Each structure stands twice: as C-alpha cells, then as structure tokens.
Amino acid sequence: MEARMSATLPTGFPHITVDDDGVARVAGSRLKVVHLVAARKAWNWTAEDLAAQFPPLTLAQVHAALAFYYDHQAELDDALRQEEHLAEQLRDQLDDGELRAKLAERLAARNQP
C-alpha cells in the first residue's frame, strides 16, 4: 500500500495550512478549521475556551483559525452544512432497524471467544 503524501498550500495566515483536497487545518495538527468553528458555535466558546478544549493548540493558532474562518466564512459555512447533512444521513441509516440488527450481529460474532 502506498502512503499518500499530503501537500500543504500557503494561506497567508500563520498557523493555517490548506491540504491538497482544499481543507483548511491548523498547522501541525489534523484539526480542521471548520471543526474548531463548529465547536465555537455549538458551545459558544471563546478563543480561550477553544485553546483549553483542544490541547495542545495555542491561543495564536485558535485566533489564526478564527481569522481564516471570518475571511472565508461563506465557503466554510457551506462545508459545515455539508458535513452536518452527511451526519444526518448516517444517523438515518443507523436508525434503520435492519442495519442496526446487522451491526449488532457482527459485534456479537466478534465478541465470541
């Protein structure tokens, strides 16, 4: 299996990179900017709260992510809506009794000695 090399593109924002798929991330981490913003919106967290909740992010990294978000708000809000829609679809699939039964059967088989 071949490892995929991920390129990062400069963004003009310190601490923020964009990968070859166009996803903005906090540099040196796997954290997507959009996920940091989602946490801020969901919990009404300040930048300080975010830094405390996402160690080892620095306050500078959090502020850079928020600045990047505000400069690209429409695009990132669209990405967030798409992720929320995908999550809804997955929840709907899990609510399907047949799928739930199949997963329970697989789990039970896996846990047998």
Nearest to 38 by CA among 19, 27, 24, 28: 24
Q: In the structure, what pLDDT confidence band is assigned to residue 1 with cuts at 50, 70 and 90?
A: very low
DSSP 3-state assignment of 103? Answer: helix
Mean pLDDT of 90-110: 81
pLDDT at 15: 95
Q: pTM of the entire structure?
A: 0.74
In contact, 39 and 74? CB cutoff 8 Å:
no
Find the CATH number of the domain harbouring 33. Answer: 1.10.10.10
DSSP 3-state assignment of 12? Answer: coil
In a domain, 3, yes or no: no
**Better-predicted residue by pLDDT, 106 or 96:** 106
In a domain, 76, yes or no: yes
Mean pLDDT of 31-35: 96
In contact, 69 and 16? CB cutoff 8 Å:
no
Question: Looking at the 3D structure of the chain, how many domains does it have?
Answer: 1
Site of tokens 């899990």:
94
- Domain interval for residue 89: 8-111
